[in-house]
Amino acid sequence: MSIKVQNISKSYKNLKAVDSVSFEVKKGELFGLIGPDGAGKTTLFRILTTLLIADEGSAAIMGFDVVRDYKSIRSAVGYMPGKFSLYQDLTVEENLTFFATLFGTTIAENYELIKDIYIQIEPFKNRRAGALSGGMKQKLALCCALIHAPKVLFLDEPTTGVDPISRKEFWEMLKRLQQQDITILVSTPYMDEASLCDRIALIQHGVVLKIDSPENIIKNYDKTIYDVATKNTHSLIHDLKNYPSQYSVYAFGEFVHYTDQENNFDRKELEKYLKDKNHTDIKIKQAQIAIEDVFMDL
């Protein structure tokens, strides 16, 4: 096991940020912690990277205990915090050299590992980190976290606030790193990124709600969801919520995701109901279930 977390809890005053969380990440696995702001993801990352001590429970990284063996862990893992924390006044190259030196290595020694990513920001290597765009900052931060060739990589919300293109590129980079046998623990509030992980833990209010592969989580979801669309989405949501047998109604991109309480749900009846409410262009079809649907039902 690369990462082993057992009954970890942490409170800040009255707030239980992490509540008895347990999970394991295998060597070479890409494991996602999926949950919104305030779920406890960052607290967990700080505990696993030895920057914070848990109130209860234990955790080990590559067999090293996070409290007792913190020094061994610090030199063996890479950590990219959620908040951009490189030196804004140093250039791209200076930042990278600085982190290499801290870990007693050089850029040249581990260049192969970061080459793919660094090549994209190398044209700007003399630019100050503070003057980079969001996507480039993120690439530099990843290079700095990788420069000492860590065995385990911790990435805390690397794609938050980043546009869909940069997000897509970032996940492609992670997949390539994974092929080099690096274990990756990544957190994200974007539910659509869950499907890119080998396994995920859904987390909210400090509690892990589910752990499995994204495929299994979707396969094991026992309700049928329908895509519903009409010309007026706003009144559609309102009317669906007043449909007697509704279980849940959530806007979902182009469609509204509708779930009924009854197993023998008849879409013809719903169609008639919507017609009576003066809806036009009514479409009802079975929907593809997404991780976000499962999350909202937990």
Partner 1 sequence: MEKEKIITVKNLTKKFGDFTAVEAISFDVYKGEIFGFLGANGAGKTTAMKMLIGISNPTSGEANVAGFDVQSNSEMVKKNIGYMSQKFSMYDDLTVKENIVFFGGIYGLSRAEIKIKTAALVAELQIEDIINSLVGSLPLGWKQKLSFSVALLHEPKIVFLDEPTGGVDPITRRQFWEMIYTQAYKGTTIFVTTHYMDEAEYCDRVSIMVAGKIEALDTPKKLKEQFKVDSMNDVFLKLARNIE
- Site for partner 1 contains 234 (CB under 8 A): yes
Residue 255 beta carbon to partner 1: minimum distance, rounded to whole angstroms: 8
Contacts of 217 (CB under 8 A, 6+ apart): 200, 202, 210, 291, 294
Smallest gap from residue 106 Cβ to partner 1 (A): 28
Q: Does the footprint of partner 1 cover residue 233 (CB under 8 A)?
A: yes
Minimum CB distance to partner 1 smaller for 87 or for 190: 190
Identify the residue among 48, 191, 270, 282 touching partner 1 (CB under 8 A).
191
CA distance 71 to 103: 12
Residue 251 in the binding site for partner 1 (CB under 8 A): yes
Q: Which is nearer to partner 1, 26 or 241 (CB)?
A: 241
Residue closer to partner 1, measured from CB, 66 or 191: 191
Q: What is the 3-state secondary structure (H, E, C) of 5-44?
A: EEEEEEEECCEEEEEEEEEEECCCCEEEEECCCCCCHHHH
Query: What is the rounded distance in angstroms from the CA atom of residue 157 to the CA atom of residue 16?
Result: 21
- Find tokens 């989405």 and name the residue: 233
Residues 155-184 that bind partner 1 (CB under 8 A): 157, 160-168
Q: Report the residue from 90, 189, 198, 273 that binds partner 1 according to the rule CB under 8 A.
A: 189
Helix, strand, coil content of the chain in percent (nearest 5): 35, 30, 35
Contact 85, 158 (CB under 8 A): no
Residue 35: CB minimum distance to partner 1, A: 8
Nearer to partner 1, 147 or 194 (CB): 194
Nearest residue to 103 (alpha-carbon basis) of 73, 128, 82, 81: 73
Q: For partner 1, which is the closer residue by CB, 67 or 237?
A: 237
Phi, psi of 203 (to 5 degrees): -130, 135
Considering only residues 27-86, where is the footprint of partner 1 by CB under 8 A? 35-39
Q: List the structure tokens of 226.
A: 């329908």
* 243 binds partner 1 per the rule CB under 8 A: no
Point out which residues bind partner 1 (CB under 8 A). 35-39, 133-136, 157, 160-168, 189-192, 204, 233-234, 237, 250-254, 292, 295-296
